[in-house]
Amino acid sequence: MERWNGRVAIVTGASSGIGAAIAKDLAKAGMVTIGLARRVERVEQLRKEIPEAAAKRLHPIKCDISNEADIDAVFKQVEERFGGCDVLVNNAGITKKTDLLEVGNTAEIKAVLDTNVTGLVLCSQRAYQSMVKRSVDGHIIHISSIAGHTVPHIPKLNIYPGTKHAVRAITETMRHEMRNAGKKIKVTSISPGGVKTEIVDMADIPPNMPFLDSEDISEAVLYVLGTPPHVQVHELIIKPIGEMF
């Protein structure tokens, strides 16, 4: 992680769970960390949970990833205040508890797509352009899900597995585009199994299902960022022992 010391990381969905763990750990690892969230006061609270030096490197900014104007405003602010983006962690993700074939849930389905897919792509576009503009060999990381490799038999997940399958294809498309452009910017998808976060409450989870901790995924982010410049971890799947999926 030494080469990232003092560099700028943007973490979406940083108010709780995996995003909060990643934001705290990147700040502790020496990165200037921009924590994006709609509930920005919760990112501010994270600064009280880490050492003072790290807290000074953690900067909360309010942002709704499903809103393109918010995304543009954030990346403009990051460029003006911090120089630009060197690492982007696309962590923000939601689900809505409804059946896919249920009529009348269009707003819920669009909300999931706008955050999990469109928002991820728009943030990646802006981060990539920031890296290219400054000739930075940066890193884009998508926090996906095991639901992007299979379709868990969990009621009410509706479009969520579809969005995570889309992230797999998007990751591969980005890799091809970066290679064709002759860039050495890395792109990685990290797919956790069950993690004890607020999103678990939005699904009908089987009893006695084992879970990972948010910190397990944050450690994976530090690992992929810490690889040498010639190494790209393209896909990383992390499951708790005993998971059925």
Catalytic residue numbers? 160
CA-to-CA dists, residue 198 to 82, 138, 158, 171, 180, angstroms: 31, 30, 17, 25, 39
Q: What are phi and psi of 58, to 5 degrees?
A: -100, 120
In 136-223 the beta strands, taken as DSSP E runs, fall at 139-143, 186-192
3-state SS, residue 89: strand
Q: How far is CA 48 from CA 24, 54, 59, 197, in A?
A: 10, 10, 12, 20
Note the helical H segments in 17-114.
Answer: 17-28, 40-46, 52-57, 68-82, 106-113
The amino acid at residue 206 is P
CA angle 206, 11, 182 (to 5 degrees): 110
Report the chain's terminal Cα–Cα distance, integer Å.
32
